[in-house]
Chains A and B, each alone.
Chain A
């Protein structure tokens, strides 16, 4: 079973359409100049947490395996948007292929965009090891992200088990069902579960996207979001 993913830019396009009802003749063609201006509209319609999967495909091989295996979409649930750097554009929603997860496999760790992101979030002296999940509740504004390392996990089962516990803790950060997520509450839940985490310096995901935008364009790559999968009880 493989996962479905959608372009992060398309989510922003849709957020604009959901609020304004305006769709142009050509459909949801992304207007690059309007993308950053519209990013805040996503926050208005998505009342959940963002989790950026930071890994190097050549080194952290078990992470792409976990994504490829397919359970991450149901593990994360509908209120967590799992983002990753995709090696191919997601002009239309489709299944994630192994090639999608191989972005920058030939790059070293100082130049890989996922590593750059974590390096940029944390000062050199306190930089946590990769791979890991970067959680934030607002893609536009400056926040202190929560970083959960996924290091030292030997195999797929171990990664899946750790991620499930982390996602459950993230789900708790909502408190009551209709409340926005709260990174402090998330940190408390992680501490209670004895899961290591690190709080970042004050940064915004938007800045990271501006930083990497040209690089991604040059490689026809982009930030994509995994689509959460509903799993109901089986029929009896």
Chain B
């Protein structure tokens, strides 16, 4: 039986530099199993939104930590391509991107425009964006200068389409925030060259109205400019304008970071600041040569201090990952800095420290300050412990943070082992022949040898413990106390296997809504795990969510076993 459904919805129609238009579309539904609109599937559309954010997060977090490897990117792109491709095939309307900046993928690109904002300047399906991200990330690793040239080509083309100087600088900043640069140097190089083009009044009129098929002409223009660009005089006023644009944008983003309402938001905000803050820090050290003036220098100086905070944050994540410590957020310098600020500002020290630096977000600053303060005394050596919701990133961000620090999220144990257990494991394998006294006191051993010595011991202990937990959960049944599974989840919050099994148990014997939620979290923790997608498909099927079930099954079928 045929049924007809009339929907009034907003669709993105390509009208250069204009918004969207409302129109009426008719979707023919041939049977109850016919494809439905993606927006009707809250599970699929929610997951796709989260995966889009994961894609962006991977780029900016990799820039922050400096880790991005070719095999990981290739594997990730395969998974993301499967997730978005199946959404296109399984649902009646293609998922549409809106508002995010894009640059063309040299291998496959449907728009006539080289770049722009999705939904505003060009129409692009997420699968095209995935291709563009993947290609440019790999290019950034294999041929960094070619990747920078591509971004420059796009940015100059964007500039030449009647845009203001500020628009093109903001476009480059938005590309960075959207995670297009997997290497920080790629972004810094782009801004440096773009600044030269913006401040030397280069004639870009020959790039106007060029189409994607003529991109080679933009490349030829760039090669021609290589020889001429630096012969043109640079305008000091225009340089100041470019700098002011970068400063204003950065200052606004710093303020947004301080107002983060969750750990995910805090971590991403800091990573997104890395590019502009690093570039402005370089400008600060050239302030005298660039004749920036006193006030601009003072602005850059304060931003440069923020750069130190960002590097400290990045270093902490990397160090914790290297030594297999829990990837829990902490702010170890709060006490030491707090003492300095207290000397300058008295009781208001935490407000000033929060508003001046990027050490701690406002949402938890007072709570953490209270933990290390007794009366007027700040205990600089005491570690403030964030509330549980501020210790670990959510499953949406956790895998991307883990990949960016080269750590398997599954192996992330939320508590460290007792020092004595660690030392015993170290001595058992690596410490044969170590002085007997080393084994006497675990804490003393750690102080003497440092955390790095124990990384291998932690890895082995985690591996054994996790294997034993997984063996246990696989034999659980309806009579198994739920608390045991919950304990395992708390101990390994980023293990997609534990999360999935917990979701199945909750769904069958506990709280079905929580079960569904955990099964979705499991696919976010391990998007490349076909078992996770199959489990979610089963749950959707059980709930008679046939379109979602078909989508999850299709994704699972495309993933390797």
User: Residues on A close to B: CB < 8 A?
Assistant: 4, 6, 10-11, 13-15, 17-18, 24-32, 42, 45-46, 78, 81, 89, 91-95, 220, 225, 227-235
Contacts and interface: CB of A to CB of B under 8 A. Distances in A.
A4 B248 contact: yes
A4 B248 CA distance: 7
Contacts of A233: 238
Nearest 3 CB-CB pairings of A with B: A230-B240, A26-B340, A91-B355
A46 B294 contact: yes
Contact-size category for B: 35 or more
A119 to B, nearest CB: 29
15 contacts: A11-B295, A26-B340, A27-B302, A27-B305, A28-B302, A89-B355, A91-B356, A93-B247, A93-B251, A94-B252, A225-B295, A231-B241, A232-B238, A235-B164, A235-B204
B40 interface: no
Name which of A10, A29, A229, A234 has the most chain B CB atoms within 10 A of its CB.
A29
A15 B238 contact: no
B51 interface: no
Contacts of A11: 294-295, 298
Main secondary structure of the interface of A (DSSP, over half): loop
B50 interface: no
Contacts of B298: 6, 10-11, 13-14
Contacts of A18: 294, 297
Contact of A31 (B237, B240, B244, B344): B344
B297 A14 contact: yes
Given A6-B298, A93-B251, 14 more contacts: A11-B295, A29-B340, A31-B344, A46-B295, A78-B240, A92-B302, A92-B355, A93-B247, A94-B255, A220-B351, A227-B299, A235-B159, A235-B163, A235-B164
A92 B254 contact: yes
B229 interface: no
A225 B298 CA distance: 11
A89 B352 contact: yes
B109 interface: no
B308 interface: yes
Interface in B311-364: 336-337, 340-341, 343-344, 348, 351-352, 355-357
Nearest to B238: A232
B293 interface: yes
A28 B294 contact: no
A31 B464 CA distance: 54
A78 B165 CA distance: 20
Nearest to A230: B240
Contacts of A42: 294
B262 interface: no
A76 B198 CA distance: 24
B237 A232 contact: yes
B89 interface: no
Given A28-B301, A235-B164, A14 B294 contact: yes
A18 B235 CA distance: 24
B280 to A, nearest CB: 12
Contacts of A227: 295-296, 299
Contacts of B163: 235
A225 B351 CA distance: 20
Contact of A24 (B164, B198, B248, B340): B340
A106 B244 CA distance: 35
A91 B344 contact: no
